[in-house]
Amino acid sequence: MEEKVKYLIIGQGLTGTWLSYFLHKQGISFKVINDAKTFSATSVASGVINPVTGRRIVQTWMIDTLLPFAIDSYKAFQKDENITIIKAAPIALIHPSLQMKESFDYRLTHDNIYLKENDNSSLGQYFNTPFGTGEIDQCYWIDLIQFLKAGREKLSPHFIEDYFDISDLILTEQDVRWKNIIAEKIIFCDGLNTMNNPYFKALPFVPNKGEALIVKIKGLAPTNIYKTNITIVPWKDDLFWVGSSYEWSFTNALPTESFKEKMITALDAVLKQPYEVVDHLVGIRPANTERRPFVGLHPKYPQLGICNGMGTKGCSLAPYFSKQLIDHIEQGTMIEPEADLKRFTSILSD
C-alpha cells in the first residue's frame, strides 16, 4: 500500500537525526531511511565542539551563531529524551611546542573570547607540560553514540532500516517515489554516499580519513578534553578517545599500524599515567574543498534536497543547517549564502 509523506530523509547520522528531529517537532510528516551496515562518520567521531581552530587558534566559521544554537538544540533533545548527551568540557591545552605557547599567549590578548589561563599544577599531575598549559572555554562534548541511539528510538515510527539504492528512486513533476513511499521532497543526509548520487555527484566532496584509539587511562578526570599534538576526549567510564589523523590521500578505510604507533609515541611522551589501548576506530569525514556545508534544493529538480558536507564540524553545523533547510522549504527563509547550494547552480544544471 502506498504511503504519502512530505519528506523522505536518507541517512540517520548527525545530520539526518537533526533534520528528522526538527520535522518531528513541527508535526511535519516524514520517513527516514538508514542502513546500519553502511559507513557512518558520526559513529566514530569524538563529539567535540571546539570554538577555535588551527595553529593560530582563531575562532571557527560562524561560531558565535552556531554555538548557542547547538547548545540549545542538544539541551532540548536531551530534555525531551530524558538523557544526558551534552556536557560542558573545557579543553585543557598542553602546549606541544614553544611556538604553540607563543601563539596561545598572543591570541589570549587579541580578538578571542574563548581562551583562558589555567592552573598548570593540577594538569602537571597527569601530564608532562614543558611548554605550559592554557584553556579553551565554552567547549562541549556530545555523546554521539547515545544521540544516534536515542534518535533512532524517538524516530522509530518514521524509521525504515534499509539500504537506499538511488536507482530505485523515481522522480515525477511534483514528487519522488521510492518503493511504496511518495514524498514531496527527498533530502540526502547520507554523508559520503552522496558522492555516488548522479544528481549531486558534481559537488566538490573530498573524503577525509580519520583514525582514533580508544584508551583506558586510570585516574584521569573525565571533566576536560585534553589537547596537545593529539586530542584526548572522555568517552565513557575510564575510557578516552585519542586521535586523530586527517588524511586527504588514502586507498582504503582500514585502521593502520602507523597511526597506532604515532598515537602511542605521543601518549608516552605526554602522559604520566599508565594506559591501555582497547580499540582502534576509523572513519571518513564528508569534507569538501570549500569547508562549508551543502544545504538547499537542486536547481533543476526542486524535489531533491541536500544537507551534507559537514566535514570536521558536524556537531556544531548539523543542528543549525538542518533547521535552516527546513525553514527555507517551509517558510521561504534564506539559507546562509556560504552554505547555500545555489553557489553550485551552474555545475548542477549541466
Ligand X SMILES: Cc1cc2nc3c(=O)[nH]c(=O)nc-3n(C[C@H](O)[C@H](O)[C@H](O)COP(=O)(O)OP(=O)(O)OC[C@H]3O[C@@H](n4cnc5c(N)ncnc54)[C@H](O)[C@@H]3O)c2cc1C
Number of residues that bind ligand X (CB under 6 A): 39
CA distance 6 to 322: 16
Task: Decide whether 280 or 343 has the Cβ nearer to ligand X.
Answer: 280
14 binds ligand X (CB under 6 A): yes
Task: Give the nearest distance from C-beta 31 to ligand X in angstroms.
Answer: 12
Instruction: Tell which one of 5, 23, 33, 348 touches ligand X (CB under 6 A).
Output: 33
Shortest Cβ 176–ligand X spacing (Å): 15
Q: Is 243 in the site for ligand X (CB under 6 A)?
A: yes
Does 314 bind ligand X (CB under 6 A)? Our answer is: yes
Is the preceding omega at residue 103 within 30 degrees of 0, hence cis? Answer: no
Which region among 77-85, 199-207, 306-314, 324-332 touches ligand X (by CB under 6 A)? 306-314
- Distance of alpha carbon 137 from alpha carbon 89, whole angstroms: 8
Nearer to ligand X, 8 or 270 (CB): 8
Q: Which helix (H) or strand (E) holds 122?
A: helix 120-124
d(CA 300, CA 297): 9
Classify residue 230 by its DSSP letter: S
3-class SS of residue 296: strand
Does 60 contact ligand X by CB under 6 A? Answer: no
Query: Is residue 34 a contact residue for ligand X (CB under 6 A)?
Result: yes
Instruction: State yes or no: residue 244 binds ligand X (CB under 6 A).
Output: yes
Cβ of residue 130: shortest distance to ligand X, in angstroms? 26
Cis amide leading into 121 (omega within 30) = no
Could you tell me if 209 and 253 are in contact, meaning their C-beta atoms sit under 8 angstroms apart?
yes
Please give the single-letter amino acid code of residue 182.
I
Query: Considering only 1-9, 88-96, 215-223, 312-320, which stretch makes contact with ligand X by CB under 6 A?
Result: 312-320
Q: Is 308 in the site for ligand X (CB under 6 A)?
A: yes
Residue among 63, 93, 115, 212 that touches ligand X (CB under 6 A): 212
Q: Which of 20, 47, 214, 240 binds ligand X (CB under 6 A)?
A: 47
Maximal CA-CA distance, the chain = 68
Find the binder of ligand X among 5, 19, 23, 41 (CB under 6 A).
Answer: 41
Q: Does 267 participate in binding ligand X (rule CB under 6 A)?
A: no
Residue 129 in contact with ligand X, rule: CB under 6 A: no
Q: Which three cell numbers stand for residue 27?
A: 508535526
Q: Which is nearer to ligand X, 66 or 297 (CB)?
A: 66
319 is a contact residue toward ligand X (CB under 6 A): no
User: Would you say 70 and 319 are in contact if contact means Cβ atoms under 8 Å apart?
Assistant: yes
> Does 51 contact ligand X by CB under 6 A?
no
- Shortest Cβ 193–ligand X spacing (Å): 3
Q: What angle do CA 34, 320, 79 make, to 5 degrees?
A: 75
Binding flag, residue 292, ligand X (CB under 6 A): no
CB of 200 to ligand X, least distance (A): 13
State which H helix or E strand residue 181 sits in: strand 181-188
Q: From CA 269, how far away is CA 96, in angstroms rounded?
A: 10
Q: How far apart are CA 303 and CA 173, in angstroms?
A: 8
Q: How far is CA 16 from CA 31, 93, 94, 187, 246, in A?
A: 11, 33, 35, 9, 24
Rounded Cα distance, 3 and 182, in Å: 6
Question: Which residue's CB atom is positioned nearest to ligand X?
Answer: 13
Binding site for ligand X (CB under 6 A): 11-16, 33-35, 38, 40-42, 44-48, 163-164, 189-191, 193, 210, 212, 243-244, 283, 285-286, 308, 310-316
